[in-house]
């Protein structure tokens, strides 16, 4: 396997050292092949909102597997999960399941192009939408709006239809839309950008996008692969109460199994085959095992106070660490939205654009990452990745983590 892994960030390249090879997980903890146990704040990069090996998921999935794993034909489980999601989400009317967030974003973009008959897509520097050709484009160095492929192997013909703008910059958007108005199919954004640090947008920026789209006929696509069912059952759309035209969902729907989805109004979804001309298909889409995982996970997320509890737990982690940093004047900042948190260095404020992240932050993070690992805390191996709290993190695990983090700050700033 290239780099020994099946997804690049797992290789620990940005923090150095050897990646942990994980043998098992239970609740908030994971155990590696060497028998070391860690409190896990990666949670498979977000989807495990109920922690590892949740019993209800396990039972439902095992029962389902015993009836067969895939039929390539409609099943009741797909309908149950679709009903569970749509009837508890005010911002969508119809949904199509796929198998990953990448597929969801790719399909939502195709749908936007199919509905509008236009080709160009606006995306933002600092947002990630999976490894879709036309979305692996970052801001170019010259003309602000024309991007550059951020991977080899992407044809220039795809790049030319992707316009890349800074987050939280109304002027840049106005200019870009004025220039390309009749060619733009959609504006794609992670409404809570969580792939290049946690770049929280004010509601006014998201509302500005909504208004601009209303005025121009451009469709607004919220990529809620991270925020969906995470900051609340209705994701960022519900959190900010902003109605996007299209939503892409991802991994959290599957409870640890490969699921993504895209969703919209019934009218927009009528463009998708077989109802309409926008083709999109998948042999394992909506397979019963993944649907069972999703039903078992999302039905537990609907429990009263589920999201409030997660928020409180996350606050209980962030507050003491931040207080320690402040008391010692360490150039460190930590913040959260719901149960998503992020740590960064050389700043004392919530950031809202990729350009605000200080490059040297990675050097501090690398030291901290090593310290945390050595003290039984696992966070994603990159300064730009966020952390996640699951329902199963206990108060004592959180307290212990806060203690270790404080020691880590002392280590990074005093002793190193």
Ligand X SMILES: Cc1ncc(COP(=O)(O)O)c(C=O)c1O
Strands 387-388 and 340-345 turn out to be antiparallel
C-alpha 17/C-alpha 31 separation (Å) is 18
β-pairing, 377-378 vs 387-388, is: unpaired
Find tokens 């537990």 and name the residue. 300
* Residues numbered 123-162 forming contacts with ligand X, rule: CB under 6 A: 128-130
How far apart are alpha carbons 47 and 253 in whole angstroms?
7
**223 among known catalytic residues:** yes
Tell me which stretch binds ligand X (CB under 6 A): 96-104, 164-172, 262-270, 399-407: 96-104
- Of 38, 128, 239, 240, the catalytic one is 128
Contact window for ligand X (CB under 6 A) among 89-97, 101-109, 357-365, 398-406: 101-109
Q: Residue from 39, 61, 163, 225 that binds ligand X (CB under 6 A)?
A: 225
Count interface residues toward ligand X (CB under 6 A): 16
- The residue from 118, 123, 251, 366 that is catalytic is 251
Q: Give the three-class secondary structure for 158.
A: helix
Residue 389: both structure tokens together: 């709290």
Report if residue 195 touches ligand X, rule: CB under 6 A.
yes
Any idea of the CA torsion for 196, 201, 207, 211, to the nearest 10 degrees? -40
- Return the residue nearest ligand X (CB atom): 101
User: CB-wise, 134 or 397, nearer to ligand X?
Assistant: 134
Shortest CB 241 distance to ligand X, Å = 20
| Residue selected from 60, 120, 123, 251 as contacting ligand X according to rule CB under 6 A | 251
Run of H or E including 210: helix 203-216
3-state secondary structure at position 329: coil
Active site residue 364: no
Q: In the bound complex, what is the minimum distance in angstroms from residue 132's beta carbon to ligand X? A: 8
Count the residues in the chain.
416
Provide the minimum distance between the beta carbon of 354 and ligand X in the complex, in angstroms, as a whole number: 14
**Which residue in 84, 105, 237, 317 binds ligand X (CB under 6 A)?**
105
Decide if 174 is catalytic. no
Nearer to ligand X, 294 or 408 (CB): 294
Binding mask 256-275 for ligand X (x = CB under 6 A): ----x---------------
Q: Please, which residues bridge with residue 340 across strands?
A: 337, 388
User: Footprint of ligand X on residues 36-55 (CB under 6 A)?
Assistant: 45
Closer to ligand X by Cβ: residue 91 or 413:
91
DSSP 52-95: BT-HHHHHHHHHHHTT-S--SS--HHHHHHHHHHHTT-TT-SEE
Q: Are 250 and 269 in contact (CB under 8 A)?
A: no
Helix (H, G, I), strand (E, B), or coil: what is residue 361? helix
| Among 29, 78, 125, 190, interactor with ligand X by CB under 6 A | 190
Q: Under a CB-based contact definition with an 8 Å cutoff, are residues 124 and 189 in contact?
A: yes
Footprint on this chain of ligand X (rule: CB under 6 A): 45, 100-102, 105, 128-130, 190, 195, 223, 225-226, 250-251, 260
Active site positions, annotated = 128, 223, 251
């Amino acid at each position: 396997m290239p780099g020994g892994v099946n997804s690049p960030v797992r290789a620990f390249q940005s923090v150095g050292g050897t990646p942990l090879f994980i043998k098992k997980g239970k609740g908030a903890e994971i155990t590696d092949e060497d028998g070391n146990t860690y409190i896990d704040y990666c949670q498979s990069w977000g989807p495990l909102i109920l922690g590892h090996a949740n019993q209800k998921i396990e039972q439902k999935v095992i029962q389902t597997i015993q009836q067969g794993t895939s039929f390539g034909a409609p099943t009741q489980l797909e309908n149950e999960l679709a009903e569970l999601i749509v009837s508890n989400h005010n911002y969508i009317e119809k949904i199509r399941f796929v198998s990953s967030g990448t597929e969801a974003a790719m399909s939502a973009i195709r749908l936007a192009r199919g509905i509008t008959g236009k080709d160009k897509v606006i995306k933002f520097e600092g947002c990630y939408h999976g490894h879709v050709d036309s979305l692996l484009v970052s801001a170019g160095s010259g003309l602000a709006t024309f991007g550059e492929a951020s991977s080899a192997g992407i044809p220039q013909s795809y790049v030319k239809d992707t316009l890349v703008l800074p987050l939280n910059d109304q002027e840049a958007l106005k200019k870009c839309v004025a220039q390309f108005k009749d060619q733009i199919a959609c504006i794609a954004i992670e409404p809570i950008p969580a792939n290049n640090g946690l770049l929280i947008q004010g509601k006014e920026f998201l509302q500005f996008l909504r208004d601009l789209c209303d005025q121009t006929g451009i469709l607004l696509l919220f990529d809620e692969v991270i925020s969906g069912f995470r900051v609340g059952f209705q994701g960022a759309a519900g959190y900010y109460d902003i109605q996007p035209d299209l939503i892409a969902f991802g991994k959290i729907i599957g409870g640890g199994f490969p699921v993504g989805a895209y969703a919209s109004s019934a009218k927009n979804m009528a463009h998708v085959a077989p109802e309409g001309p926008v083709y999109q298909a998948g042999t394992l889409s909506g397979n019963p095992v993944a649907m069972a995982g999703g039903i078992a996970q999302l039905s537990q997320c609907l429990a009263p106070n589920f999201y409030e509890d997660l928020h409180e737990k996350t606050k209980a982690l962030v507050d003491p660490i931040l207080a320690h940093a402040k008391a010692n004047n360490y150039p460190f900042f930590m913040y959260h939205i719901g149960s998503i948190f992020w740590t960064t260095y050389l700043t004392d404020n919530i950031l809202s654009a990729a350009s605000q992240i200080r490059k040297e932050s990675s050097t501090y993070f690398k030291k901290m990452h090593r310290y945390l690992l050595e003290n039984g805390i696992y966070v994603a191996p990159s300064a730009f990745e966020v952390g996640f709290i699951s329902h199963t993190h206990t108060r004592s695990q959180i307290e212990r983590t806060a203690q270790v983090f404080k020691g880590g700050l002392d280590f990074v700033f005093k002793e190193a």
